[in-house]
Structure 1
Amino acid sequence: MELMNKIWEAAKADKRKIVLPEGDEERTVVAAKKIVDEGIALPILVGNRDSILSQAKAQGVDLEGVEIIDPETSPKLDEYIEAFYELRKSKGMTIEKADKIVRDPLYFGTMMVKLDHADGLVSGAVHTTGDLLRPGLQIIKTAPGVSVVSSFFIMLVPGSQYGEDGMLLFSDCAVNPNPNSDQLAAIAIATAETAKNLCKMDPKVAMLSFSTMGSADHELVDKVRKATEKAKELRPDLDIDGEIQLDAAIVSKVASQKAPNSKVAGSANVLVFPDLQAGNIGYKLVQRFANAEAIGPVCQGFAKPINDLSRGCSTDDIVKVVAITAVQAQAQK
């Protein structure tokens, strides 16, 4: 938990406004109060004011210090409608459609971030990843020089010798179903940067496959191999290697047999999965079988920080992702 303690303290040192557009969801309401009590951010609950206050009463939560914004009564509603229309008019958007769309708390909250009325957004206790990505890509868009939005989990495995004292980053586990080689290379680079900037790690990135350094030939292996070559070409300063099997990536004895010349093999702390099925299954296996803490999914690649939650998240999960989002927002200012 040393990492989360550092993130916690960084968030407290420079509080950021974080939008929670699922404002009347019970875990979110409780989380907002915890965020205020802990002093890690300035939470903004977006939604119907009466519903939010009713939920707070049902949960026994005092929302003093928590800002509540109801899109239907907000003095900024017309400004957001006009701004959204301008952003999307080339795609056939009309003022009438924009008026209807922006009243949705998720779109309203995303417009708040876009126009610098908030610093970041966290959603997903109720909404799907697709629900979050849609307004994110339409409104926030990708950061300069970034070709694809992806996600990562911070995996904290108690008592583990693997990764960095049991800490590893898994990517992409929530966003891209079947990235091509260029996208996979971009995901690897983005996750390496996240490892450095957020987790203060020296990233050693393993491009995972069922093959290690040519031990098998298949089009699925070819994709990973090409992605590795592309990532190395774009960022020769990073330690990225592959294609490589999981055991060779993290177990030094296996690495010495399968990939003796690799700087990454046996000591990988960033695992890049070849597709979403592998990544999603992989993180859940580790979470359940190793009793690991899975923090995320956290998005990377957006021009401003917006982050997803698992719909099975706990109140504490929401608080942690808000803290991470706040620190991401600090880094972008």
Structure 2
Amino acid sequence: MIMASLFETLKEKIVGKNIKIVFPEGNDLRVVTAAGRLKAEGLLEPIVLGNTSDVEKLLAEAGYEQSNVTIIDPENYDQLAVMKEMFLDLRKGKVESEQADRLLKDVNYFGVMLVQMGLAAGMVSGAIHSTADTVRPALQIIKTKPGVSRTSGIFIMNRDSTNERLVFGDCAINIEPNAQELAEIAVNTAETAKIFAIDPYVAMLSFSTMGSGKSPNVDKVVEATRLAKEMAPNLKLDGELQFDAAYVAATAKIKAPDSQVAGQANTFIFPDLQSGNIGYKIAERLGSFEAIGPILQGLNKPVNDLSRGSNSEDIYKLGIITAAQALDN
């Protein structure tokens, strides 16, 4: 199944469900264009934050002035007092009243609170904000799922020419995860893969295959593999594996002949952020894969982070993905 058909499948899954997704950056034409398109196609109910008149002008510029996109101006929100009270309760002992007033003027905090209040199912931000600015309020307010110590970020890697779809994680959030965190990332990534019709075969990556190398870095991956198997005993997962042993069947026969994953992995867990970030960009630039993401996982409700270089198509796609996550949450 190619990526285009994946998005068609996701569209069929969410169309007509009236899933509300917040787009906090309503002063950006790319964001407003994507929101207008999503509404016009009946895929979801976008909520765009910003000055009403300014957002309406951008919708008109994008050709969606009649799209009836919901616009909320945080400066004139009639439920702000209720939102503030809930926010103070959630952040009890950590935030005082004056600080709450300041934070709720931040569109990402405001957007996440709409999600927390059940007024939206998820949020897409990051077109003009850093990853930290997007993720911090989500971690503080929505928080991670039970049993998950931290969120992580994956990429769906698609290559039409070879009809391949792979999952790479964590390529966005955790700089140096320990064995327990790496195991959690592996299990969470496998669950995320299923949302995109991928039957996960999970490879725990290393510079070593089944004891060929000796290092504390290898030991971490070995321990993470053991823990992940304990957490999800029915998951097809193995390690430690070098990338060639995980991906190439002929190499797997030599390096890991007894592995049920080696040579057929489609879900790759990198040992740290440095290798993950480098790996997905090499696949994107030299391997002609399209990188879709980062898609954040592990949160109680979906919040996704855009690249600041995103175009309206990227934002449109991430809106669809976020809505699909919300259905499976």
Does the alignment reach a TM-score above 0.5? yes
Partner of 1:73: 76
Partner of 2:184: 186
Report the identity percentage.
Answer: 49
Matches within 5 A, 1:1-333: 1-62=4-65, 64-91=67-94, 93-160=95-162, 165-196=163-194, 198-332=195-329
**What SS does structure 2 have at the residue aligned with 1:299?**
strand
For 2:34 and 2:248, the matched residues in 1 are separated by 38
Q: Tell me, yes or no, if the aligned pair for 1:142 and 1:303 is still in contact at 8 Å.
A: yes
For 1:313 and 1:5, the matched residues in 2 are separated by 21
Q: Tell me, yes or no, if the aligned pair for 1:82 and 1:95 is still in contact at 8 Å.
A: no
**Amino acid across the alignment from 1:88:** R
Q: Tell me, yes or no, if the aligned pair for 2:40 and 2:67 is still in contact at 8 Å.
A: no
For 2:241 and 2:190, the matched residues in 1 are separated by 17
Q: Which moved more, 1:43-52 or 1:318-327?
A: 43-52
Unaligned 5+ segments in structure 1 are none
TM-score by length of 2: 0.96
Q: Which moved more, 1:151-160 or 1:22-31?
A: 151-160
Q: Tell me, yes or no, if the aligned pair for 1:15 and 1:326 is still in contact at 8 Å.
A: no
For 1:278 and 1:131, the matched residues in 2 are separated by 23
Q: Tell me, yes or no, if the aligned pair for 1:56 and 1:62 is still in contact at 8 Å.
A: yes
Q: Tell me, yes or no, if the aligned pair for 1:150 and 1:301 is still in contact at 8 Å.
A: yes
**What SS does structure 1 have at the residue aligned with 2:293?**
strand
**What SS does structure 2 have at the residue aligned with 1:222?**
helix
TM-score by length of 1: 0.95
For 1:236 and 1:59, the matched residues in 2 are separated by 49
User: Residue 174 of structure 1: CA displacement?
Assistant: 0.7
User: Residue 138 of structure 1: CA displacement?
Assistant: 0.6
Unaligned 5+ segments in structure 2 are none
Q: Tell me, yes or no, if the aligned pair for 1:185 and 1:231 is still in contact at 8 Å.
A: yes
Q: C-alpha offsets along residues 135-154 of structure 1, whole Å, 9 cap, x if unaligned? A: 00110001122222111111
CA RMSD of aligned residues (A): 1.3
For 2:106 and 2:56, the matched residues in 1 are separated by 18
Q: Which moved more, 1:39-48 or 1:61-70?
A: 61-70
For 1:199 and 1:97, the matched residues in 2 are separated by 40
User: Residue 63 of structure 1: CA displacement?
Assistant: 5.5
Q: Tell me, yes or no, if the aligned pair for 2:56 and 2:65 is still in contact at 8 Å.
A: no
For 1:55 and 1:38, the matched residues in 2 are separated by 18
